[in-house]
């Protein structure tokens, strides 16, 4: 979408180019390459999400005037007397549950050099997310005011950042700001590719099928995993009309419900058992898929909510019905001591 709007490049060609670049540096550089590029890309994203809304505010005449414009624009639902429902608020807040189950975020903490660095890493991570999310929300809200005040034609609301960058800044500055979109795409995609390939090579192949596998064989299988996952992602992305937000929210719910619940119980409940963790992950994933595709029309709530709740219930019940493995309590206490 970025290349299409900026360069007039055909969607399919842009998709192929992006896929090849991301796969190439993930394939060749591995974990260290992804970490360093994530640092630079993260700073670029945060900077863009601070500069763009501040400039938008300046052009709109300040925060109060922008909010007055937004207040005058009433969506159809509000004009019909329907306020924001409790389910909508719960759904919005439930996005926070997804963070606990994101593999590309968790792996950063898993690979940290020392537990003493976790507090600083936590502060940096949460600060970055808070600033970036606030900036994103401001761009969305101010975008409504800007489009209305200057009577812009915006066919795709997801391109508001692209349009604002092109309208408000010198082409050179706009180019840097627009590269922040590529940074967001590439940092997430490369991290997910790396985690997925590592899971295929290390967790499945080496631990289940071939415990004596050589490092070379595991590395080759990991690279093959990168290619396989990239191909699947490419095929999903060929649907030009699909919403980026809807795809991300679906994946976010799946990760949060299946892995997030297990992570939280692992950190705060020493009684959780191995079988309960497995059942919780399976339950969370299944409930999200089933609810999204078959039950969402009956109760409009973000699918992570029922998925997370069901996974948590299964973890609690299964843990109480099964025995804790020897050494679990000691390992849990050691973890708390180190933290």
Return the HEC string of 72-111. Answer: HCCCHHHHCCCCCCHHHHHHHHHHHHHHHHCHHHHHHHHC
Question: According to the model, what pLDDT value does residue 76 have?
Answer: 45
In angstroms, the CA 272 to CA 262 distance is 9
Question: According to the model, what pLDDT value does residue 237 have?
Answer: 86
Domain coordinates of the chain in residue numbers? 2-238, 243-339
Contacts of 177 (CB under 8 A, 6+ apart): 48, 51, 52, 165, 169
Question: According to the model, what pLDDT value does residue 74 have?
Answer: 58
In angstroms, the CA 234 to CA 239 distance is 10
Question: According to the model, what pLDDT value does residue 281 have?
Answer: 95
Q: Under DSSP, is residue 82 helix (H, G, I), strand (E, B) or coil?
A: coil
Question: According to the model, what pLDDT value does residue 75 have?
Answer: 54
Question: According to the model, what pLDDT value does residue 78 have?
Answer: 38
Burial (CB count within 10 angstroms: exposed 0-12, middle 13-18, buried 19+), residue 288? buried
Question: According to the model, what pLDDT value does residue 80 have?
Answer: 40
The angle, 0 to 180 degrees and rounded to 10, between the axes of the packed helices 160-168 and 118-149 is 70
In angstroms, the CA 58 to CA 145 distance is 12
Q: What is the mean pLDDT of each run of 10 residues along the chain (339 residues)?
A: 81 88 78 80 91 93 87 55 72 90 81 85 90 93 89 82 90 89 80 80 79 80 84 86 83 92 91 93 96 89 95 96 87 82
In angstroms, the CA 195 to CA 193 distance is 6
In angstroms, the CA 81 to CA 76 distance is 9
CA dihedral 331, 332, 336, 339 (to 10 degrees): 60
Other beta carbons less than 10 A from residue 113's beta carbon: 7
């Amino acid at each position: 979408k970025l290349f299409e709007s900026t360069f007039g490049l055909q969607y399919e060609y842009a998709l192929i180019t992006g896929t090849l670049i991301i796969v190439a540096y993930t394939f060749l550089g591995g974990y260290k390459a992804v970490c360093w590029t994530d640092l630079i890309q993260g700073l670029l994203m945060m900077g863009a999400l601070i500069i763009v809304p501040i400039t938008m505010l300046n052009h709109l005449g300040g925060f109060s005037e922008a909010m007055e414009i937004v207040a005058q624009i009433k969506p159809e639902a509000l004009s019909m007397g329907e306020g924001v429902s409790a389910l909508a608020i719960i759904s919005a807040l439930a996005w926070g549950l997804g963070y606990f189950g994101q593999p590309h975020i968790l792996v950063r903490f898993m690979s940290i050099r020392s537990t003493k660095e976790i507090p600083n890493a936590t502060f940096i991570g949460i600060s970055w997310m808070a600033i970036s999310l606030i900036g994103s929300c401001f761009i969305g809200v101010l975008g409504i005011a800007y489009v209305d005040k200057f009577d812009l034609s915006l066919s795709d609301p997801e391109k508001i950042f692209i349009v604002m960058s092109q309208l408000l800044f010198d082409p050179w500055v706009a180019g840097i700001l627009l590269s922040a979109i590529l940074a967001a795409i590439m940092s997430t995609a490369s991290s997910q590719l790396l985690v997925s390939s590592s899971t295929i090579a290390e967790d499945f192949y080496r631990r289940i099928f071939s415990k004596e596998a050589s490092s070379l064989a595991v590395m080759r299988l990991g690279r093959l995993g990168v290619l396989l996952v990239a191909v699947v992602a490419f095929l999903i992305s060929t649907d030009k009309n699909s919403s980026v937000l809807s795809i991300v929210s679906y994946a976010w719910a799946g990760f949060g419900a299946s892995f997030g619940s297990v992570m939280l119980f692992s950190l705060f409940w020493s009684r959780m058992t191995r079988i309960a963790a497995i059942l919780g992950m399976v339950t969370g994933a299944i409930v999200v898929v089933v609810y999204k595709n078959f039950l969402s029309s009956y109760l409009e709530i973000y699918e992570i909510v029922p998925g997370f709740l069901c996974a948590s219930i299964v973890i609690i019940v299964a843990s109480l019905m099964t025995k804790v493995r020897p050494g679990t309590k000691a390992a849990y206490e050691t973890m708390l001591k180190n933290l």
